[in-house]
Amino acid sequence: MAMTPGKRQGGARAVGQAVGKLTATAYGRRGFAQGDVIRHWPQIAGDLLARHTLPDRITFPRGQRTGGLLHLQVGNSAVATEVQHLEPLIVEKVNTYFGYGAVKGIHLFQRPLPPRKDDGPAEPRPLSPAERAALESELKAVTDPELRRALEGLGQAILRRRRGGG
């Protein structure tokens, strides 16, 4: 079977295209016509708000796709209070994103948020000059460079833990 010149048969595609198609059904059941709201929540709501909230679904009046209710998960009650005060702004941002009055209000519910990818462990504190000197003194007899690096890493971790910094 010969391939027609200029016609593409399969081949590489952008991952974003495939993800969008795969998640469309699941997001559609949650009231998100497109999963874009969930994927672009930090851009819609702002990074600070997105750290403490997560859109769950949008419910619409029967037979309509406007005037919906955005169900928003919050991590704790302090955030819920703040989000209540910001509701008009959030509704405006979501509607600006959609380009029409898709949402008219917000329903908040409290549940622990899933960990974010960038919520990794904090940077360990640097060792003080005295701690570094003490560690160097202990390791000066070790001649194998690989063993020395391993012991130095272990020593740094122990010293940081003693002072509660990492």
* HEC assignment per residue over 60-114: CCCCCCCCEEEEEEECCHHHHHHHHHHHHHHHHHHHHHHCCCCEEEEEEEECCCC
**pLDDT value at position 147?**
92
Banded model confidence at residue 39, pLDDT cuts 50, 70, 90: confident
CATH 3.30.30 fits 19-110, yes or no: no
> What CA–CA distance (Å, rounded) separates 37 from 71?
12
Query: Is residue 6 over pLDDT 70?
Result: no
**pLDDT value at position 17?**
53
The more confidently predicted of residues 33 and 129 is 129
Q: Is 30 exposed, middle or buried (0-12, 13-18, 19+ CB in 10 A)?
A: middle
Banded model confidence at residue 27, pLDDT cuts 50, 70, 90: very low
C-alpha distances in Å from residue 144, one per residue of 73, 114, 123, 150, 154: 53, 43, 28, 10, 15
Q: Which helix (H) or strand (E) holds 22?
A: helix 15-29
Rounded to the nearest integer, the mean pLDDT of the chain is 81
Confidence (pTM) = 0.54
Written as six digits, the tokens of 69 are 């209710």
Residues of the chain with CATH 3.30.300: 19-110
The 10s digit of each residue's pLDDT in 41-99 is: 999 999 899 999 999 999 999 999 899 999 999 999 999 999 999 999 999 999 999 89
DSSP 54: E
The 10s digit of each residue's pLDDT in 111-132 is: 999 887 765 556 777 888 999 9
**pLDDT value at position 127?**
87
